[in-house]
Amino acid sequence: MLGVLLLLLSSSSPGVTVPPPLAPCSRCCDHMPPAEGSGDPPALAEFSHVPEIRTYINMTILKGDKGDRGDRGTPGNVGHEGPPGAQGVAGSKGSKGHAGPPGDPCKLSHSAFSVARRKSLHSDDAYQAVIFDTVFVNLGGDFDMFHGKFFCRVAGVYFFNVNIHTWNFKETYLHVMQNDAERAIVYAQPSDRSIMQSQSVMLELRPRDAVWVRLFKRERENAIYSDDVDVYVTFNGYLIKAGGE
């Protein structure tokens, strides 16, 4: 490039003397032989192992303002149930609540009877039910006066009581029966004095169960005493708790 420039100057200005071209530049170490085992000159060998430069950016300087809070993520799966904890300390007793409204009287179950016998009765060849001839109470007609038996209409627990008067010199032997099963006995040995005997029992009944008083057979001479003036023989029963309550 420098030769072309000089040629143009010499051709355009014939009176100008153009100096001879300069010798090419050379380094002071060019005359030295290259190092053994290396194809590059010693000057280039110094720069053949340039250290790697890694850029480090201090992010604290470039940190911007705090951004807005992101949307709530999707809930994760439910974890495994942990073991039960220890029982806590019992709390203080609460105050007494208000009384509730009264129940409907129409929904309450009732069943009761009270009957009596004004005639004496002697034993027969077979077992016989004590028949009563006087009614004091018979709610719902549950006591059958013809058969001398109470037939359960409302299932539940009942209380029964029987009172009799013994006969002089005769044994008194009766049973309170539930259907065909003996539940309680009323007994008095023969004596020269007549006395009052009583027996009570509670029974759990189902609908159509029968409760009655049975006099023993004639193989034992027994009887109960009564008359038209006073009431000596009574049979009573009433519902304590209905089965559905």
pLDDT in tens, 31-76: 666 555 555 555 555 555 666 777 766 666 666 778 888 888 888 8
Cα 160 from Cα 238, distance rounded (Å): 7
For the chain, residues with pLDDT lower than 70 are 1-51, 56-63, 103-107, 245
Cα 115 from Cα 131, distance rounded (Å): 10
- Percent composition of the chain: helix, strand, coil (DSSP 3-state, to 5): 10, 30, 60
> Which domain does 214 fall in, by range?
112-242
Q: What backbone torsions phi and psi does residue 141 show, to the nearest 5 degrees?
A: 65, 30
* Structural domain includes residue 237: yes
Question: What percent of the chain shows pLDDT beyond 70?
Answer: 73
Instruction: Supply the pLDDT for residue 126.
Output: 85
Domain count, the chain: 1
Tell me if the pTM is above 0.75. Answer: no
**Joined tokens for residue 80:** 């495994």
Instruction: Supply the pLDDT for residue 206.
Output: 96
Q: In the beta sheet, which residues pair with residue 203?
A: 158
* Structural domain includes residue 234: yes
Instruction: Find the helix or strand (DSSP H, E) in which 233 lies.
Output: strand 233-242
**Joined tokens for residue 117:** 């016998």
Q: Tell how far CA 107 is from the center of its chain.
A: 29
- Write the burial class of residue 152 (CB in 10 Å: 0-12 exposed, 13-18 middle, 19+ buried): buried
* Structural domain includes residue 225: yes
Instruction: Supply the pLDDT for residue 169.
Output: 86
Cα 216 from Cα 221, distance rounded (Å): 9
* Structural domain includes residue 185: yes
* Structural domain includes residue 32: no
Written as one letter, the residue type at 220 is R
**Joined tokens for residue 129:** 């039910």
Q: What backbone torsions phi and psi does residue 10 show, to the nearest 5 degrees?
A: -70, -30
* Structural domain includes residue 21: no
DSSP 143-158: EETTTTEEE-SS-EEE
Best CA proximity match to 151, nearest among 164, 138, 133, 163: 138
* Structural domain includes residue 57: no
* Structural domain includes residue 229: yes
Instruction: Supply the pLDDT for residue 49.
Output: 62
- What CATH number does the domain containing 117 carry? 2.60.120.40
Cα 173 from Cα 186, distance rounded (Å): 6
